[in-house]
Structure 1
Amino acid sequence: MKKTKINIVWLLGLLAVFLTTTGFVQPNIEDHAHILDKETKALINEKNNRYLQTKEQPQITVITVKKLNKLTPKALEFSKRTVFIVVGQKGKKRNVQIYSTKDLHGAFTADTRANILRAEVNQLRSHNNATFNKGIHFVFRACATKVDQQYQYALDKYDLSPSEQNKISHPHSVALPIALALAFLITGIIYFLKKSERNNVKLHK
């Protein structure tokens, strides 16, 4: 009886090791909604293959699902050094969210995640799949840039350029020219109204 129990424990131990080393390895791509194109998949795999060559071996996983809510991936609980980009789709509507494991929370604050998604919001809202994939490219590369900065890796062709990084660091800078133009317009309208009032006063005199 004791021998049987020992054998069972030994087999369970082997099963646990097997699942840990194979079955529980998070894949780079889970495209359940069939949204991602070949270029996007290539980008995801190539960057993650580079991460496999590092000591820390971080990972950026992209998941698409056929729903809009409750997008938190189950693997988030037991993963380490991982960023999840989750795309929910239902009909023509899409919802893109970024999640990170606890060890990357410093690099992926709520503001950082919001700024990444806001930077190319028009592409992410597009119903055109090619345009939407361009938006996902940006989101993935932005996440890769944050991961590389966190672990002090040299930036490569998969990361954002300085001007692209500026979109995330200063999300409101894009709206600044519009705000200035509106300010000039309002000032001009006020000036012309005052001038018109003065002319009317002169005519009445």
Structure 2
Amino acid sequence: MFVTMSGFVQPNIVDDAHIIDKQTQQLINEKNNRYLQNKEQPQIAVITVKRLNKLTPKHLDQIKRTAFIVVGQKGKKRNVQIYSTKDLHAAFTAESRMNIIRAASKELRSQKNSEFNKGLRFVFRACATKIDMQYQYSLDKYDLSQSEQDKIDHPRRVALPIALALVVIVVALMYFFRRIRSNNPNSRQ
């Protein structure tokens, strides 16, 4: 009976590339243990593999309520991807997955294992926040703060001020050139 029931259970951590440190492991296990106390019992599994491509988890379409953070490593290069089961696609759209990884890209590119794990913890906490919002769980210490969520939800906040500045510059240049043209007596001929 036990083997039958646990046959499709995904472990929280599969660290084939030996990247994940103890602090990250503790975060992953503590949050997933909290999820086990809920009716839906979602899960966030973190998997590391020794390759950079073909990172999609096996049997993804047969598992429910699970988000996967897959880290591929070959040599010094790393590739981090987020996958989710069909029932979590609303929380993990392609744009939200990309924004999560982009928000932690500086740490995830680091060759220092401690910096990389800091970025991995951020990605995990972002995924946990998305799941908590999907199932309307109360946010806890494992979730992102509001400012961290804003960093993910509005990654292009700088684009609007830059666009406004460009508009001001173009308008100023147009005014300047018209002014020069109207003051130049040769331009009226």
Pairwise CA distance, 1:56: 0.3
Q: Distance in 2 between matches of 1:130 and 1:191?
A: 53
What amino acid sits opposite 2:144 in the alignment?
L
Q: Secondary structure at the match of 2:139?
A: coil
Structure 1 CA distance, aligned partners of 2:170 and 2:78?
37
> Could you report, residue by residue, the CA deviation over 1:50-71 in whole angstroms, capped at 9, with x for unpaired residues?
0000000000000000000000
1:177 offset after TM fit, Å? 6.0
Matched residue SS, 1:72: coil
- What SS is found at the alignment partner of 1:158? coil
Q: Which amino acid is the alignment partner of residue 48 of structure 2? A: T
Q: Cα 1:119–1:179, aligned 2, differ >3 Å: closer, same or farther?
A: farther
Alignment of 1:114-129 (within 5 A): 114-129=98-113
Alignment of 1:1-205 (within 5 A): 17-174=1-158
Cα deviation code 1:68-105 (max 9, x no counterpart): 00000114122100000000000000000000000000
Deviation at 1:25, TM superposition (A): 1.2
Letter of the 1:102 counterpart: K
Please give the root-mean-square deviation of Cα atoms over the aligned residues, in Å.
Answer: 2.5
Question: How many angstroms does 1:180 deviate by?
Answer: 6.8
1:13-34 deviation line (CA, Å, top 9, x unaligned): xxxx543312331100000000
Aligned counterparts of 2:175 and 2:73: Cα–Cα separation in 1: 50
Asked if the contact 2:8–2:63 (Cα under 8 Å) also holds between the matched residues in 1, the reply is no
CA 1:119/1:34 → structure 2, altered by over 3 Å: closer, same or farther?
same
Q: After TM superposition, which residue ranges in structure 1, 4 or more long, deviate above 4 angstroms?
A: 174-192
Structure-1 separation of matches of 2:107 and 2:174? 37
In the alignment, structure 2 segments of 5+ residues that lack a partner are 177-189
Secondary structure in 2 aligned to 1:99?
strand
Distance 2:33 2:140 in 1: 13
User: CA separation in 1, counterparts of 2:39 and 2:165?
Assistant: 50
- Cα 1:18–1:127 change in 2 (3 A) is same
State the structure with more CA Rg: 1
For structure 1, which runs of at least 5 residues remain unmatched after alignment? 1-16, 193-205
- In 2, distance between residues paired with 1:36 and 1:30? 9
Bigger relative CO (Cα 8 Å, ≥ 6 apart): 2
Alignment partner of 1:74: what SS? Answer: coil
Partner Cα distance (2:164, 2:90) in 1:
34
